[in-house]
Amino acid sequence: MKAVSHAVDEARLGIMLNDLRLPTIKTLWPQFAERADREGWPAARFLAAIAEHELAERSQRRITRHLAEAHLPPGKTLDSFAFEAVPMISKAQVMAMAAGDSWLAKGANVLMFGPPGGGKSHLAAAIGLALIENGWRVLFTRTTDLVQKLQLARRELQLEAALAKLDKFDLLILDDLAYVSKDQAETSVLFELISARYEHRSIMITANQPFGEWNRVFPDPAMTLAAVDRLVHHATIFEMNVESYRRRSALEGKRQRGRPAAYATIKNTPKVDAARQSECDDDVASDNQRDNLSDAAT
């Protein structure tokens, strides 16, 4: 009779845990209960142990859900960001910013300026990833893509609802602001977005042009001034004026594939047959001759 009653209690407990939406506790409580009985745990320790696992699993599910909705570019982390290539950026400041507590709570902004390939998008995405891992909600989007969606919402008389939907994100990362076309309809919805989030929700912007060239984005000088004023009022500004990382990588790869290194490798290989060696020598001689002719023409 006692065993039957115990089975009924377990079945009722499973139903109640489902109703309370505690799936981790439902899964783990039997093994924790067995251990608690074996080791003589007090009830408080048993409850704390299963509650801790429920909270940890719930946090992980939340992070997974927020990562899916953030649309971050893959592989962009703070660990993989080359801080040494951007010496004007303080790693300590970025790591503090990745916690997000103070500036996100105040709706402050982050603005990143610099030429293409300088690491702006990587750093923005990496900060976004760290913020999600710390419990914040982030959306990463190309500025042109979001502007087009907001334009569509306006045509369908749904702009206010679209802006409200974006309000759930603690940080909105607008990548490549410069590529918004200088069109009144596009820039007006962008300005409305900036105004709607002002001192309320944070924006992070990456842009190739400094403020002085934003008249290429906003056709109305008054709108340009108003947008800049709202963005910089509570903002951290990173000026990343460095050589393009992509260009540096391409040049480095080209140097590694250069003729001298390849020729030295072939020449110093003891088992290269005579015909192959002669062919290599002819290629190098031809290259030298072309270089000499080019120098003479110059």
The string of pLDDT tens digits covering residues 93-143 is: 999 999 988 999 999 999 999 988 889 999 999 999 999 999 999 999 999
Shared domain check, 287 and 214: no
Q: What is the DSSP letter of 213?
A: G
Number of domains in the chain: 3
Distance of CA 247 to the CA centre of its chain: 21
The string of pLDDT tens digits covering residues 257-295 is 554 433 333 333 333 444 444 444 444 444 444 444 344
- Nearby residues of 26 by Cβ (< 8 Å), 6 or more positions away: 14, 17, 18
Q: What is the DSSP letter of 72?
A: P
Domain boundary among 37, 69, 101: 69
Q: What is the dihedral of CA 7, 10, 16, 22, to 10 degrees?
A: -150
pLDDT value for 269 = 36
Residue type, 92: A
The better pLDDT of the pair 45, 177 is held by 45
Shared domain check, 265 and 229: no
Q: Which of 208, 142, 214, 212 is nearest to 182 (CA)?
A: 214
- Name the residue range of residue 182's domain: 83-244
Exposed, middle or buried by CB within 10 Å (0-12, 13-18, 19+), for 97? buried
Distance from C-alpha of 286 to C-alpha of 282, rounded to nearest angstrom: 6
In a domain, 214, yes or no: yes
